[in-house]
Structure 1
Amino acid sequence: MSRLLPTTSNASTDRTGQPSLLCIDDDRTSEVLAALSSETARTIFRELNDRPLTATALADRLEMSIQSVSYHLENLSAVGLIEVADTCYSEKGREMDVYTVSSEPLVLFLGTEDDQPGLRVAFKNLAVAVGPVSILIALWETLVRLVGSDASG
């Protein structure tokens, strides 16, 4: 018998947004640092960097209570570090959000807003220098994964 409601998600982690620079004197920086101040929050964020998960799946993986995981998910979501990528349903038919990291990567630097223009130029120069190499590495990793999945499938 097939299920009417999806119990799994096809959501993926997509970091294609433009990076935002957070400087030490920015209000958002304080909020992000506060949300990531506990080891639990950082562990949840790292897990969501690997793959999108529901609060229940995170609680099971980390051997924590659903209440604790939900608390940290709310904090991380409130500052824009994670977002809801999809919805699936539990075996009992309850709707569950599937969380993933935000598509907007963040770069935190220990300088002031006045330092941003110089830092942006430095990142652009770095991107030009390593851009072609990074593309080749990404293509190689993709090919290795494809060949590996064909061999195991």
Structure 2
Amino acid sequence: MPEMGRLLPTTPDATIERSEEPRLLCIDDEQSTQVLQALSSDTSQRIFRTLNEEPMTPRDVADELDSSLQSVGYHLENLEEAGLITVLDTCYSEKGQEMKVYGPPREPLVLFFGPSDDQPGLTAAFERFAGAIGLTAVPLAIGQALARLFGADE
């Protein structure tokens, strides 16, 4: 009889796909509060950066960051509830246990440190900015700004 792991996919087939249109969050949005809370710890930030580079299972994240699976699971739950990560795929352990594969959502988030009343003007300015530099450069510019904000190594 074949092993369970050979009947079910044991490696994820997830890729990171980004929309060209980010979603804008303002500082007075409820989701902005969740985002800031979810990223309030160094561990959450490290997990978030790791999953923005490559989709991974919780076990892979724990191994990559030399952290406990329990700690990683806690932070993954908070990041997912805040909309910062999502389940991109599932795969199975050698024992046949289903594992979620996490990565960033398709739609990037832009956090604006101003009230939602300013959103129409900011959206117009952002569209002009995106048109000037090209839409493909916008997610890169946002990612670089977030990396600087959260102290990621460049």
Q: TM-score range by the shorter chain?
A: 0.7 to 0.9
Q: Which residue of 2 aligns with 1:73?
A: 76
State the 1:43 CA deviation.
0.6
1:49 to 1:92, Cα distance in 2 relative to 1, 3 A = same
State the 1:18 CA deviation.
3.0
Measured in 1, the distance between the counterparts of 2:125 and 2:21 equals 16
The answer as to 2:13 corresponding to 1:29 is: no
Pick one of 66, 82, 87 that aligns with 1:84.
87
State the 1:132 CA deviation.
7.7
Does the Cα contact within 8 Å between 1:8 and 1:88 map onto a contact in 2?
yes
Bigger CA drift: 64-73 or 80-89?
A: 80-89
1:17 to 1:74, Cα distance in 2 relative to 1, 3 A = farther
Structure 1 residue runs of 5 or longer lacking an equivalent are 135-153
Which has the higher Rg, Structure 1 or Structure 2? 1
Q: Which residue of 2 aligns with 1:4?
A: 7
Measured in 1, the distance between the counterparts of 2:48 and 2:125 equals 27
- 1:1-153 counterparts in 2 under 5 A? 3-16=6-19, 18-131=21-134, 134=137
SS at the partner of 2:134?
helix
State the 1:108 CA deviation.
0.8
TM-score of the two chains, using structure 1 as the length reference: 0.82
TM-score of the two chains, using structure 2 as the length reference: 0.81
Instruction: Report how many residues are paired.
Output: 135
Q: Which runs of 4+ in 1 moved over 6 A?
A: none
